[in-house]
Structure 1
Amino acid sequence: MSTDVFRLRDRLPLYLDLIRWDRPAGWLLLLWPTLSALWIAADGFPGWHLLAVFTLGTILMRSAGCCINDVADRNFDRHVRRTAARPVTSGRIDVREALAVGAVLALLAFGLVLTTNRAAVAWSFFALAISVVYPYAKRFVSMPQAVLGVAFSFGIPMAFAAVQGQVPPLAWWLLAGNLFWVLAYDTEYAIVDREDDLKIGIQTSAITLGRWDVPAIAAFYLIYLYFWLYPGEIWARDALFFIVAGVALAQVAWHIVLIRRRDPAGAFRAFRLNHWLGFTLFAGLVLQRAFR
């Protein structure tokens, strides 16, 4: 066995830590709206090929994004208790190596997109550009979570492009709605680090919103649900729709309970539970189209 193979085997645990492999909540937050868009665009099951492409592509791109983010934030993260031990920040992986891992993952994701169609391939370049820009947004904008919202939502127009060969207005409507969901859960996430972020001097939505952070998060959730539950071309107003809406609203209410005191532990718990909200809407869409 060659030296390179031994080295890769020794480095693998660090690479898995770099891409947050043990914390799947991050890629699930991207996966559910992307798969929901696939089902909506195809008006049902989109086929195993597209399901595999977008599931694996979502995991790969989120992992690549972690590499870019950790390189961009390495000088900030060492001052934040929650992130000080990350591989790049702690020096266990250097910048060039982290970027190389990210590049390989992004190329693998691009290889998957190449098996779809020209429209999806074209939109993938916009998705990559936004993913690269986001980590630097907190240096220039007061609510970088809005930039993250676009980056985390771009699987939606790509799904429509892969199925229909175009991106209709409905896709942009859903992207706009999903942006508000990202604003909600990433502001919860920002509450966790607010004290450290204030000391460092970086900008987040939790700092910008100040004492209005909890009411704003509640509003973001409700706007997200309005965008995703309102269109008649998505939902039939049957019993299942009202069950899905009720379960979704109950989850939002629980999130507000968890964050109402702005306790970092409660805010982090709320953030980690968010993927269940996305799964609720996805499951409802799948069931409606399976049993109509």
Structure 2
Amino acid sequence: MSDATTRVADATGNWVDTRAPSWSRPYLRLSRFDRPIGSWLLLMPCWWSAALAAGVARDISQLASVVVLFFIGAFVMRGAGCTWNDITDRDLDGKVERTRSRPIPAGQVSVPQALAFLVLQALIGLAVLLQFNRFAIMTGIASLVIVAVYPFMKRITWWPQVVLGLAFSWGALMGFAVTLGRIDLTAVVLYAGSIAWVIGYDTIYAHQDAEDDALIGIKSTARLFGARTHRALVVFYALAVLLIGVALWLAGARWPAWVGLAAFAVHLVWQIRRLDIGDPALCLRVFKSNRDAGLLLFAGLLVDAVMRA
């Protein structure tokens, strides 16, 4: 079987397909290194929290190292989460056009091999986590419960995006745990705002598979909202901006952070206006643009942290 026929359907033409050694490609695809957008989205709340907590502490001496460690951790643990997801969803993935070419249903990687790779990624993630204080280590470990149950949620609830939000927003707590050794109200509100953001963008993502999901009985907010998706996005994106704004106010953030939040909000408005849920390719592009939205907010928070320090 040629490599061209084993590429994941929505991730062709990337460095994994063209430059990675052939033996490594199925594993890199398993951990989604051919589609890093999910790692970036997992990273954004981590970076927001790290910058905001540094601003609260008025100390950026450790911020650079925390940013780098969060980057490594986000990419590794997103890979571990995707590997776990593919193990649990291997039968369902084979029934969906977009996912049937993933490594396990395509026969490129066996389940035991995937499990071994999962353990390897988890150990790397643990090595990153051990660089932090004890409270941050325990906080990070606690997130694994949510990660473990998430793949099963689409079978039992119309709101699996909420559980994904709980997992993908965990970094909003980690920055405070690492920098300040505590999780206060500011961190909790930032976490809630990030959850609302995740629900919004993953609803957009889920519209790619809405028809296939209906055929095999998979639930999602995309199917739940249907034609009302734009209105739902207005609600969740507005809630995200409002809650993140409350977090900035509680943290005593200065004007750069508010400029970043304004740019973030404008980007979310653009997404809603641009979106056509009947165009899967456009849904994917709009979904991916959330990395840029997150970076705009992070830039504002970073400048704010530097100014306050």
1:237 shift after superposition: 5.5
Q: CA separation of 1:53/1:82 partners in 2, compared to 1, >3 Å: closer, same or farther?
A: same
Question: Are residues 1:232 and 2:249 paired?
Answer: yes
* TM-aligned CA deviation for residue 159 of structure 1: 2.0
Deviation at 1:51, TM superposition (A): 2.4
The corresponding residue for 2:190 is 174
Deviation (angstroms), 1:210: 2.6
Partner of 2:174: 158
State the AA in 2 paired with 1:140: I
Kept after mapping to 2: 8 A contact 1:258/1:267: no
Deviations 1:207-251 (A, max 9, x none): 12232222101211111111112332446453x455434422321
3-state SS of paired residue (1:193)? helix
Q: Which residue matches 1:67?
A: 83
Cα shift at 1:106: 1.0
Which structure 1 residue ranges, 5 or more long, are not aligned?
1-8
> Quick check: 2:47–2:70 contact (8 Å CA) kept in 1?
yes
Aligned position for 1:39: 51
Using the size of structure 2 for normalisation, the TM-score is: 0.86
In 2, the alpha carbon distance for the partners of 1:192 and 1:117 equals: 41
- Does the C-alpha gap of structure 1 residues 185 and 135 become closer, same or farther in structure 2, counting only changes over 3 Å? same
1:196 paired to 2:208:
no
Which residue of structure 2 lines up, in the alignment, with residue 92 of structure 1?
Answer: 108
Cα deviation digits, residues 131-163 of structure 1 (max 9, x gap)? 111111111111101000000011221221111
Q: Is it true that 1:21 corresponds to 2:37 in the alignment?
A: no
Query: How far apart, in 1, do the equivalents of 2:74 and 2:36 lie?
Result: 11
Distance 2:126 2:171 in 1: 13
- CA distance in 2 between partners of 1:134 and 1:170 (Å): 26
Q: Percent identity?
A: 36
Describe how 1:1-292 pairs up with structure 2 within 5 A. Answer: 10-43=22-55, 45=60, 46-230=62-246, 231-234=248-251, 236=253, 238=255, 240-241=256-257, 243-291=259-307
Deviations 1:158-201 (Å, cap 9, x if unpaired)?
22111111111211111111001110010001111100000011
Return the alpha-carbon distance in structure 1 between the equivalents of residues 109 and 50 of structure 2. Answer: 36
Amino acid at match of 1:232: W
CA shift for structure 1 position 125: 1.9
Name structure 2 gaps, 5 residues minimum: 1-20
For residues 281 and 122 of structure 2, what CA distance do their matches in structure 1 show?
A: 33
Which string of whole-angstrom CA distances, capped at 9 and with x for unpartnered residues, describes residues 35-76 of structure 1?
110111122533343223212111110010110111111111
Q: Give, in whole Å, the separation in 2 of the partners of 1:155 and 1:289.
A: 18
Query: 2:257–2:297: 8 Å Cα contact kept in structure 1?
Result: no
Contact in 2 for aligned 1:174/1:227 (Cα 8 Å): yes
Describe the shift of the 1:245–1:116 C-alpha distance in structure 2 as closer, same or farther (beyond 3 A): closer
* Rounded Cα–Cα distance in structure 2 between residues aligned with 1:235 and 1:93: 50
Report the more deviating stretch, 45-54 or 119-128: 45-54
Q: Which amino acid aligns with 1:15?
A: Y
Distance 1:194 1:22 in 2: 23
Q: How many pairs align?
A: 283
Separation of aligned partners in 2, 1:117 and 1:128: 18
Give 1:266 shift.
Answer: 1.7
- The amino acid across from 2:218 in the alignment is I
How far does residue 16 in structure 1 lie from its aligned partner after superposition? 0.9
Distance 1:128 1:81, change over 3 A: same
Give the Cα separation in 1 of the matches to 2:140 and 2:306.
30
Question: Structure 1 residues 63 and 166 mapped into 2: Cα distance closer, same or farther (>3 Å)?
Answer: same
2:26 partner SS: helix
RMSD (CA atoms): 1.7
For residues 262 and 194 of structure 2, what CA distance do their matches in structure 1 show?
Answer: 19
| Equivalent-residue separation in structure 1 for 2:218 and 2:118 (angstroms) | 24
